[in-house]
């Protein structure tokens, strides 16, 4: 018995060495295919887990979506840093933590219909697309709507539809929605969005001054009226279009 065990030990060692080598090569292969894999891991660990992002699925998705492909190549090295980044036309992609937090708060379940107002780069829409089978997103700036739509298609996010238009009016053809996320600052809640929200649905919106800061506000539509939760101070680029004329 003792002899047989001795014979197996070197073989076991060799197997371990080979397995270790293969796993190292696999890691090296993945990192050469995705040079920002390590930066993304660090972002999830320090900026999200290190704060109050506790939803395992949100952490997993934030660790999956290649944020560096949603900004111009010269900003790719900053894509996982703890701040917003310019995406052209004076607009910004939110800091990763804010994207994760808003996704965690909206808590989208499989099969739910989601509408985003303010497509920007398409990053938030891509993140949301992992939680359900259809996401609709509206962007008022034509060039951003076109580039985000193209980017999402190229990256394989086929369950996200982007429309160029004023998100104030929502997307009535696909209403009612279970969840609506507004990613531009608004001084009031556009009534069409409330109308297009299902009973029991949630709307998340940075509400307040469009030039200074806002309060991230969650509204839940109930039969007894709207439940309003004021969550935290945020700074978003202003919503434009109809809202400014109201
Ligand atoms: N969610 C985006 C970032 C949003 S920045 C991302 O993940 O990259 C806010 C965006 O809202 C800008 O692109 C801006 O053009 C857009 N926006 C402003 N007013 C709008 C409106 N009325 N309807 C739709 N989009 C609007």
Q: Are strands 134-139 and 160-164 parallel, antiparallel or unpaired?
A: parallel
Query: Which of 139, 214, 216, 234 gets mutated to test ligand 1 (max ligand atoms within 8 A of its CB)?
Result: 139
- pLDDT value at residue 20: 60
DSSP class of residue 133 equals S
120 φ, ψ (degrees, to nearest 5): 55, -120
Q: Which residues of the chain have pLDDT under 70?
A: 1-32
Q: Which atom of ligand 1 is nearest to the CA of 120?
A: 13
- pLDDT value at residue 8: 61
pLDDT in tens, 34-55: 999 999 999 999 999 999 999 9
- pLDDT value at residue 246: 83
Distance (angstroms) between ligand 1 centre and the Cα of 39 equals 26
Residue 94 falls in the annotated catalytic set: yes
Give the active site residue among 32, 72, 94, 149. Answer: 94
Distance (angstroms) between ligand 1 centre and the Cα of 84 equals 13
- pLDDT value at residue 172: 98
Residue with the two structure tokens 């649905």: 201
Distance (angstroms) between ligand 1 centre and the Cα of 245 equals 17
pLDDT in tens, 124-171: 999 999 999 999 999 999 999 999 999 999 999 999 999 999 999 999
Does 234 sit in the ligand 1 pocket, CB within 6 Å? no
- pLDDT value at residue 210: 83
- pLDDT value at residue 25: 57
Its CATH architecture, for the domain 82-245, is: 3-Layer(aba) Sandwich (3.40)
**Distances in whole angstroms, Cα of residue 116 to Cα of each of 119, 126, 179, 242:** 7, 11, 9, 17
pTM assigned to the model? 0.88
Does 241 sit in the ligand 1 pocket, CB within 6 Å? yes
Contact 55, 83 (CB under 8 A): no
- pLDDT value at residue 7: 47
Distance of CA 12 to the CA centre of its chain: 44
Q: How far apart are CA 115 and CA 138, in angstroms?
A: 8
For 61: left if phi > 0, alpha if psi spans -120 to 50, otherwise beta; the answer is alpha
- pLDDT value at residue 241: 97
What 3-state class would DSSP assign to 219?
A: strand
Does 175 sit in the ligand 1 pocket, CB within 6 Å? no
């Amino acid at each position: 018995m003792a002899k047989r065990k001795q014979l197996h030990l070197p073989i076991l060692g060799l197997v371990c060495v080979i397995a270790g080598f293969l796993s190292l090569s696999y890691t090296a292969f993945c990192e050469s295919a995705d040079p920002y894999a390590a930066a993304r891991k660090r972002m999830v660990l320090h900026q999200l887990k290190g704060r109050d992002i506790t939803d395992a699925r949100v952490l997993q998705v934030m660790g999956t979506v290649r944020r560096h492909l949603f900004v111009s190549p010269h900003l790719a090295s900053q894509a996982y840093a703890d701040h917003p980044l310019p995406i052209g036309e004076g607009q910004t992609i939110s800091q990763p933590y804010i994207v994760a937090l808003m996704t965690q708060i909206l808590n989208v379940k499989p099969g739910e219909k989601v509408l985003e107002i303010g497509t920007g780069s398409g990053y938030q829409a891509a993140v949301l697309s992992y939680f359900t089978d259809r996401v609709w997103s509206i962007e008022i700036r034509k060039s951003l709507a076109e580039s985000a739509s193209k980017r999402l298609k190229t990256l394989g996010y086929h369950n996200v539809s982007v429309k160029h238009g004023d998100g104030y009016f929502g997307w009535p053809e696909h209403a009612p929605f279970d969840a609506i996320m507004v990613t531009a600052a608004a001084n009031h809640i556009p009534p069409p969005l409330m109308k297009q929200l299902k009973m029991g649905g949630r709307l998340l919106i940075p509400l307040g001054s469009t030039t200074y800061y806002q309060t991230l506000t969650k509204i839940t539509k109930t039969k007894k009226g709207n439940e309003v939760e004021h969550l935290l101070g945020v700074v978003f680029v202003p919503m434009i279009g109809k809202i400014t004329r109201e």
